[in-house]
Structure 1
Amino acid sequence: MTQHSKFKTAILTFCLTITTVLSVVAQEKATPIFKDGEAQIVEAFNTPDKWIRHDLFVETTFDTDGDGKLDRMHVGVTRPYQTETEGLKLPVIYETSPYYAGVAPDVDGVFWDVKHELGAMEKARVHPEVTRLGERPIISNSQIQTWVPRGYIVVHSSSPGTGLSQGSPTVGGDNESLAPKAVIDWLNGRAKGYTEAYGGEEVEAFWTTGKVGMTGTSYNGTLPLAAATTGVEGLEVIIPVAPNTSYYHYYRSNGLVRSPGGYLGEDIDVLYDYIHSGGEESIIPNSNATINDAHIPKAFKNKRAYSNAMVRDMEMKNGMDRITGDYNDFWAGRDYLNDMAPMKAALLMAHGFNDWNVMPEHSYRIYKKAKDMGLTTQIYYHQFGHGGPPPISMMNKWFTQYLHGIDNDIENEPHKAWIVREGDKMDEPTAYKDYPNPEAKPVTLHLTSGTPKTGGLTTTKPTKQGKETLVDNYSFTGEALARAEITNHRLLFVTPKLTKDVHISGVPQITIKLASNKPAANLSVWLVSLPWNDSRRAKTTDNIITRGWADPQNHKSLTESKPLKPGKFYDVTFDLQPDDQIIKAGQQIGLMIFSSDKEFTLHPKPGTELTVDLDGTYLVLPVVGGADSFNEVFGN
């Protein structure tokens, strides 16, 4: 072999070796892995000690803390190290919250006093302050262990006026929608991020594809919807769990001042104080700042004081109206149903039918609207209380489809609703074509007399039944009233004992023809399953099918209440909370009408009398199979 030939052979061998090495390196690069339409855990990503964690501040388009500068949101990032060393770009799972930096202490007087007459002024409440918790760069550890090993980057941010995020909390105001929008814009190169809250070096999100999915529970579930209503490009899918979709529906019911379950006396200003962990900096951030500060009152020593005065003590105080409970512009601006027109993200809703904090109507109203808009949407309901995300496999498929672009046919699934049936596990929901069940038909139930014991519920309109009167007394709980054999503090009407199971699916509606002996009265309705379950493992909600509340003064208009003329009868029609429940054979369905609900409403002095015209009162119940099926359970 000539010297030239040996040289050519050596070069060829070298090139083959380099090619082989590069090929091996390429093969060893970590990439997401998918099976059965789901992202799998990749061992190369499942290395917490190597994850890159850093924080930054994203500039928004608003200034809500009075310093004359655009507010910046504190953002935390957790990503596989391969996004730094191998040029890997991954999609983002994003959760934002007002809770990450701590909340206000539970002190006496923080809630509104509910013991007073309807329409009366209340004494001032206490305003606790939050001591901010947490240190940079870690905002939260939620979602990380679940999604980073599956090939996602997890991003967190604190809401305006909480933690190290600038601005003011508004509890449903526009800035709480625009803040996550700004973060998503930054992830897509349309907004600026900085290393510090003031000044700092610019930070770019070079490590992401820009596709974002959001999830979270309660307030953290509200904010994905808030972001989606902006129509921001890059937000492909949201999975809100038990989201508050309207602060009016959270703190009012059909014109009635009504607390969320477990938080008697809470209102929107209470929640404001609860989350306001930011805003401790001086109103003017540094001595070199050049701003037009003529609009900043000199009395404010810092941004927290400014926000308290402008948002809580002005906007909220003037807008929330605890006197009448009417729906107004303040509440309309905090109802995400009104803002959905720009929304295009795919939507998987999740909620519990026994969530009496953020009630199940919150998810249903958004699901229905999104479906009407033609968005890809499904709903997951369970029989438990507040919280409860869909099974991880379901969430995985949604994120895989919309963030990684792996077609797993979600849009073509024949089932749009997933209901965890009574006694089943959370990860074993039953699939239905839709919610409400398409086979559910309205069944009208009429009342027969029986006070002070119990009257009846029947599908056959009876002959004239007359009028019955109850006497308000908040001292008795709803459970005590439902269990009582005889009492004049409620009216209770029950069906015969069921000979077969009855499946209720949808939104019951009630019309009550009533008169009050006073110009104002609470009106509460429970639909219950009797006899009451006295087993040691039973919970109060085991016997509650659904509930509803209304202000008779709003019988004509939600936006304008008028005092009742004592003795005059009014027709009050309103929806109860959505439900999907199977009432077992052997039980009876009971409709209970009473006035003040000890757990939810104001507590006026006992003695108000409500008279119900039984002939003008009826319940419309959505029953799977309709009237024919319903009558069968009584042998009719």
Structure 2
Amino acid sequence: MGRFWVGLGVLPVAIVAALGAAAPAQAREAPTIVIEDGVTQPVFGYADAIRERLFIDSTFDSDADGLRDIIAFDVIRPRATLDGLKVPVIMDASPYYSTLCRGNDGECKADLDGDGLLDRWPLFYDNYFVPRGYAVILLDMVGTNNSTGCPTTNANQDNLSAKQAINWLGGRAIARNAAGQQVTADWHNGKSGMVGKSYDGSLAMATAVTGVRGLTTVVPISGPTEYYDYTRSNGVVTRGNNYPSFLANVVTNPERRDYCKPVRDALAANDGDEHGDYTAFWNERSYVKKVGNITASVFLVHGLNDDNVRPDHFSKFWYELARYDVPRKLWLTQTGHVDPFDFRRAEWVATLHRWMDYWLHGVANGIVDEPRVDIERAADVWETHADWPVPGTVGTEVWLRPDGLGLVPAADSVTQSFQDSPTQTQNTMILNPETVQPNRLAYLSAPLTAPLHVSGTAVVKVRAAADQVDTNLGAILVDYGTAERVNHRASGEGILTLTTEDCWGEDSATDNACYRQTQKRVHTADVELVTKGIMDAQNRQSLRTPTPLVPGERYNFDFPLLPEDYVFQPGHRIGVVIVGSYPQYSSQVDQTRATIEVALKSSRIVLPIVGGTAAAHAAGL
């Protein structure tokens, strides 16, 4: 191209004059997106799309080698962008593209011919959205795949990785190709969205809370929002020792793991496993505290039975989004840690399409005027609500009594005791609730006479004394009654992967748009663990500063259970189980083996009941 312009510069004057005298060429209009039925249509090619791999110098040095880390990302965009089409970006930033890979089909990035460009693009976003007038970026988080540096497990270096590409799209950063040539995003329309599941979802939220210009919407799926809560719960360590270091090792390419060991050693030295308290280490890894910076809309998706990224990650973030009146949408499913592409595929693709069209292409399709919340009530049975918690929800005190659960407290002097156990299983805790057992206290309602809907975060308020300076306290909310339920504790976390496929988008010679289909796993069961919670008694006043117990002295222990949206059916009984250590919920069991005495008059659970006390009375509580 450079030689062409040099040649023009030495054309003879007569030829130049002749060129100037020629009739002007007919101006060609720039291509545009096509909208039918309220959505963008697949009028652009996929096989001939422009593919690039670009590199940006970051603003940080995660491996402390004296050089700024380089963030690599792959871009695919319609070929029509060469002719003036302006398109938005959908980005999935991830640490997994060369290690655990993405999606239920386990797709990795792949350069099959060694030309430095992707031939296989994980997930369906590229196949589906590029033909509809979008660019798709798959970004390698710092220290992973083609990016340099070392992963820091949701510290600032991880969190700022995708911001580098957003800044480049907005003309505020320089990107180069493999040859070192600067590349600009002159094809970009100024709007970008981010999407991703799990770690990818956390990176979307991490980018949003920076308030970076140009990020218009984020769609986090089952992503951690408060990394303390991913590895802790109210002072109790809920995952194995040095988990941030462990995860950083998992996402690092094998050939770089030895090189990155000093970074992982620093993570392990500062994570505070020895006490489980909240420290500056965790404050750096909090997105909930930074929601006020968000200028993008947010579409959250989460499994109510996700035991990996537990549901308090969506709820704490959602409550803050509401406080700051951020435009928002929410899907809650009965599955565990599962992508909506695998639990509600057709509806998900259609909804995500309309959401991106509205926020990135400005298509007036009415999606923001529809009910804000979709909740899966039973397998593939969905209902919509104006908001979450469901409007009309009221925190309602349900008291622990010797004769079960009730709406009035027990008498003054009633106490009950149990012994903490490090080996008691979850099944032992919740089964046979009418049998007295030495390592738990169980309280049952009468059979319900009407449905009872809880929506939100229940809080356990127990007044108790222990005979040791420390103990753990746990609580479980249980539904006792036979019903068909999503079997989220089986392999697949509520879904069964089939051998058949369906296709979503267009193919190239090396990348098809077909994925294995799924169906819900269901079973008939007599008991359902609805939600649970745990706390370290020494953190009863503060997560930052432990305060030992005085043996025999009574204290108030207030702690939340994981959020839920659940309907107890008529004929079923509500159960509340109080325990000490909870091995199936935490990796850290208390070592003191305390005997715990509960004063029932002051002990209750505050249930977020739709309709409040009136609904509780109507249901026979």
Q: Given the two structures, how large is their TM-score scaled by the length of structure 2?
A: 0.82
1:220 Cα deviation after fit = 0.6
2-structure distance, mates of 1:96, 1:486: 51
Q: Deviations over 1:157-181 (max 9, x none)?
A: 1101111101221111112222111
Q: Within 5 Å, give how 1:165-314 maps onto structure 2.
A: 165-196=147-178, 200-259=180-239, 267-277=243-253, 280=256, 305=258, 307-309=260-262, 311-314=263-266
Contact map agreement 1:350 1:380 (CA 8 A) in 2? yes
Residue in structure 2 matched with residue 498 of structure 1 by the alignment: 448
Q: 1:65·1:279 contact (CA, 8 Å) conserved in 2?
A: no
> CA offset at residue 409 of structure 1?
3.8
In 2: Cα distance, 1:61 partner to 1:407 partner: 38
Partners of 1:381 and 1:239 lie apart in 2 by 13
Whether the 8 Å CA contact 1:473–1:605 is kept in 2: the answer is no
What fraction of aligned residue pairs are identical, expressed as a percent?
30
CA distance in 2, matches of 1:423, 1:222: 27
In 1, distance between residues paired with 2:524 and 2:286? 32
Query: Does structure 1 retain, via aligned residues, the 8 Å contact 2:62–2:152?
Result: no
Preserved CA contact (<8 Å) 1:473 1:606: no
What is the aligned counterpart of 2:464 among 514, 522, 538? 514
Q: Distance in 2 between matches of 1:73 and 1:542?
A: 49
String of CA shifts for 1:89-142, please: whole Å, max 9, x gaps: 2111000101111159xxxxxxxxxxxxxxxxxxxxxxxxxxx98544228422
Tell me which residue corresponds to 1:599.
Answer: 584
SS in structure 2 of the partner of residue 499 of structure 1: coil
> What are the ranges of 5 or more consecutive residues in structure 2 without an aligned counterpart?
1-21, 102-107, 341-346, 488-521
1:474 to 403, 422, 441: 422
Question: For 1:608 and 1:533, how far apart are their aligned partners in 2?
Answer: 37
Q: Which of 55, 58, 74 is 1:60 aligned to? A: 58
2:550 aligned residue: 565
Deviates more, 1:59-68 or 1:243-252: 59-68
Determine whether 1:141 maps to 2:122: yes
Instruction: Name the structure 1 match of 2:71.
Output: 73
Alpha carbons 1:162, 1:278 under 8 Å: kept: no
Distance change (3 Å), C-alpha of 1:553 and 1:443? same
2:97 maps to 1:100:
yes
- 1:277 & 1:539 partners in 2: Cα distance? 43
Between 395-404 and 265-274, report the one with greater CA deviation.
265-274
Query: CA distance change for structure 1 residues 278 and 147 in 2, over 3 Å: closer, same or farther?
Result: farther
| Residue from 598, 601, 615 that aligns with 1:615 | 601
| 1:415 aligned residue (371, 375, 397) | 371
User: Which residue number corresponds to residue 391 of structure 2?
Assistant: 438
SS at match of 1:527: strand
2:527 & 2:333 partners in 1: Cα distance? 13
Task: Find the counterpart in structure 2 of residue 37 from structure 1.
Answer: 38
Query: How far did residue 371 of structure 1 move?
Result: 2.2
Query: Is the counterpart of residue 87 in structure 1 residue 44 in structure 2?
Result: no
1:72 Cα offset (Å): 1.1
Contact map agreement 2:244 2:268 (CA 8 A) in 1: no
Instruction: Report if aligned partners of 1:422, 1:581 keep a CA contact under 8 Å in 2.
Output: no
The aligned residue for residue 364 of structure 1 is 315
Q: Could you say if the C-alpha distance between residues 161 and 265 of structure 1 is closer, same or farther in structure 2, counting changes exceeding 3 Å?
A: same
Q: What residue in structure 1 maps to residue 363 of structure 2?
A: 406
Q: CA RMSD in A?
A: 2.7
Contact 2:471–2:593 under 8 Å retained in 1: no
1:333: which partner in 2?
Answer: 284
Offset, 1:510: 0.9
Q: Does 1:629 align with 2:609?
A: no
The answer as to whether partners of 1:489 and 1:594 remain within 8 angstroms in 2 is yes
Deviates more, 1:603-612 or 1:367-376: 603-612
The whole-number CA distance in structure 2 between the counterparts of 1:578 and 1:405 is 34
- Quote the offset at 1:465 in angstroms: 5.7
Task: Give 1:589 shift.
Answer: 0.6
Helix, strand or coil at the partner of 1:563: coil
The letter for the 1-side match of 2:561 is: L
Greater fraction of residues in strand: 2
Once residues 253 and 294 of structure 2 are traced to their aligned partners in structure 1, the CA distance between those partners, rounded to angstroms, is 30
Q: Deviations over 1:285-327 (max 9, x none)?
A: xxxxxxxxxxxxxxxxxxx556432x3222x234311121111
Q: Distance in 2 between matches of 1:177 and 1:606?
A: 39
Unaligned segments of structure 1, at least 5 residues: 1-13, 105-131, 281-303, 450-454
